[in-house]
Structure 1
Amino acid sequence: MIEPRLIRKQRIIFVTLLLLIILTIGIGMGLGYSSLSYDRLLPVLFGNGTFKEEFVLYQVRLPRMIITLLGGMALSLSGAILQGITRNDLADPGIIGINSGAGAAIAAFYLFLPINAASFAFLLPVVAFFGAMLTAIFIYVLSFRKNHGFEPIRLVLIGVGFSMALSGLMIIMISSAERMKVDFIAKWLSGNIWGTDWPFILSILPWLIILIPFTIYKANRINILTLGDPVAIGVGVAVGKERFILLLTAVALAASAVSVTGGIAFIGLMAPHIAKTLIGPRNQLFIPIAILIGGWLLLIADTIGRQLLDPQGIPAGIMVALIGAPYFLYLLLHNNNNT
């Protein structure tokens, strides 16, 4: 049973994060290459703006911020699931190669298959899912040792190896492609938020609507899996089945996110850890907090990055990596000291 004190604390943190997200969106709506003054935001939101103001807000800034928010939420939830089912605090869909698997599939689809503009936004998450799932299965199999089970550092090292190999594969694929397609893949690799139209929101939203409640429903099973296979088997959990279902969920979340946000790492690493620090290790408590933290981190990274260099700005993936890479090294050294 969860203490009422922790539930109250979770609600306070949850509401605080919601307010931070709303504040960041409000600030972001007034920032950018095309000026839109803050005193004009409310009139524009209620349909009393000029054509230019409404175009900038509804066709440029608002869909981009919503995509960024949803992508960060999906990546953070994917990271939380992966850390739970692998009992590895360093697991992240970007670090262990799942994002690169999705990216390689997207690159092959974009470069070598005919593209239908009407269905492109909705096919990308599906293509990314199959690429990410294939990669996850290889990593899952290779990181498992018969007499030892999963080894956390082994999982990370194999995942990093897959990530580098698949990134190299993408570079090989684009080496002979036409310039426009090369630009697209290059932006994807740098973590540039490129899916900034409303159809891309509709392509990622159903995955989150289904998989967030499903993961929260499975939160207690993740709690049990983190205790180790002998304990989980002892209380009657079908370990293999549950782990595979949750792995599918994590891969689907990561694939849906990177199909529109590009190759962004470290959100799935940082957000769950920050949430656990704030509210504790129970998945029922920290997963909703991690979802909001992930969305807010990516949103604020993209908002700041857009202001640093005109007109394109610095990709959100690079902004996140500037914070995430040192954080990953800290966790790696911390884990080594504890083993």
Structure 2
Amino acid sequence: MEMENNLPVNPLGKKQNKKGAFVLSILGLLILVSFMISMNTGFIRLSPVDLTHTLLGKGTAQQELILFDFRLPRIVISVLIGAGLAVSGCVMQAISRNALADPGILGINSGAGLMVMLFIFLYPSASAVPAMLLPVLAMAGGALTAAVVFALSYSRHKGIMPTRLLLTGVAVAAAISSAMIVLTLRLSPEKYQFVATWLAGSIWGTSWKFVLSLLPWIVFLLPYVFYKGRVLNVLNLGEATATGLGTFVSREQLKTLAAAVGLAASCVSVSGGIGFVGLIGPHLARRLVGPKHQWLLPASALAGALLVLTADTIGRWILQPTEVPTGIVVAVIGAPYFLYLLVKTKN
């Protein structure tokens, strides 16, 4: 025991902890700045003085309506969606050992969206869709899609094969997207407008009831995934190595995958088809804090939140008084980055 107490502290680990804490602090500060800018972005501008007065309860009725009923719910949802999708992508990349894994690319977003779309197709009115039910339906669709994709890409001798996983996910996502397009032909004009908005990746759930429907999933699943950071470090080493280190690989893969699907599906239920967040967020975080998931997971959450919040703010500002869907803004950023990663992986 005396020898253990006298062991030298690893200077590299201590340095990495300081770097990780610094990066998280900077990302948090950037989110706060983007939060303040986003509250002042829209057709009706609120000056910093008006914004401060409104936050303190001294604004006019119109200012309170704009800030508390329209902008703040959307900003909070943007942050939650970005964090959830980025962490989901980070988990999938660790499980599959594939740097290109992402809830959108693997078809999970499409599967969740198809379930939501089927429900809206059968529900009397799109404007009265029960918010609390949507994440449950989306998770069912996402889980079914994930089960199909991972079953088709699993080999008894080699485990999950990264290349087959990517190709299977792209094929399944394309098939589901085709089914969704066919389904739109049977929709009423009101429901078609709703679905078109969803497919473009517009954050359509912009009221506090949608915040409350999404918040429990994020609050429960994010800490669970963070807790599994050390397990993901081991899984990232490969199935044989993880088994040799005493990890029940199949059980841990199932648990963490279920959490990742829950995060992605619940976010999709209120955000629509926003892609690339689960791809870009973890890659940016990995460049900043390294591969250890104790720091990578929270950094991914903050990077994803910053990305979606910034994209939503740009989308609301660039073509005022109309707006560009957040998913399109993210795609403009994400598509070139995805091609860069493909080239880099090939090389």
TM-score range, shorter chain: over 0.9
Partner of 1:168: 178
Partner of 1:313: 323
Partner of 2:168: 158
SS at match of 2:81: helix
Q: 1:298 aligns with which of 302, 308, 325?
A: 308
Contact persistence 2:126–2:194 (CA under 8 A): no
Q: 1:113 aligns with which of 119, 123, 128?
A: 123
Partner of 1:246: 256
Q: Point out where structure 2 has 5 or more consecutive residues left out of the alignment.
A: 1-9
Q: 1:96 aligns with which of 106, 110, 120?
A: 106
Could you tell me how far apart the structure 2 residues matched to 1:201 and 1:319 are?
22
Matches within 5 A, 1:26-65: 26-65=36-75
The alpha-carbon deviation at position 33 of structure 1 amounts to 1.1
Could you tell me how far apart the structure 1 residues matched to 2:310 and 2:140 are?
30
The alpha-carbon deviation at position 36 of structure 1 amounts to 1.8
Could you tell me how far apart the structure 1 residues matched to 2:149 and 2:86 are?
20
Residues 119 and 178 (structure 1), Cα distance of their counterparts in 2 relative to 1, 3 Å cut: closer
Could you tell me how far apart the structure 2 residues matched to 1:260 and 1:115 are?
16
What are the Cα deviations for residues 178-225 of structure 1, in whole angstroms up to 9, with x where unaligned?
011011111111100100000111111111111111111111111111
Q: 1:323 aligns with which of 320, 329, 333?
A: 333
1:154 alignment partner AA = R
Could you tell me how far apart the structure 1 residues matched to 2:66 and 2:206 are?
12
The alpha-carbon deviation at position 37 of structure 1 amounts to 2.0
Matches within 5 A, 1:161-310: 161-310=171-320
Q: TM-score, normalised by structure 1?
A: 0.96
Could you tell me how far apart the structure 2 residues matched to 1:40 and 1:124 are?
36
What are the Cα deviations for residues 61-80 of structure 1, in whole angstroms up to 9, with x where unaligned?
11101101100000001000
Q: 2:89 aligns with which of 79, 101, 106?
A: 79
Partner of 1:126: 136
Identity of aligned residues (%): 45
2:176 alignment partner AA = L
Contact persistence 2:120–2:129 (CA under 8 A): no
Task: Give the number of the structure whose alpha-carbon radius of gyration is greater.
Answer: 2
Q: How many residues align?
A: 337
Could you tell me how far apart the structure 2 residues matched to 1:148 and 1:332 are?
23
Could you tell me how far apart the structure 2 residues matched to 1:117 and 1:181 are?
9
The alpha-carbon deviation at position 113 of structure 1 amounts to 3.4
Q: Does 1:3 align with 2:21?
A: no
What are the Cα deviations for residues 84-109 of structure 1, in whole angstroms up to 9, with x where unaligned?
01111100001110000000000001
Query: Segments of 4+ in structure 1 off by > 2 A?
Result: 113-119, 145-151
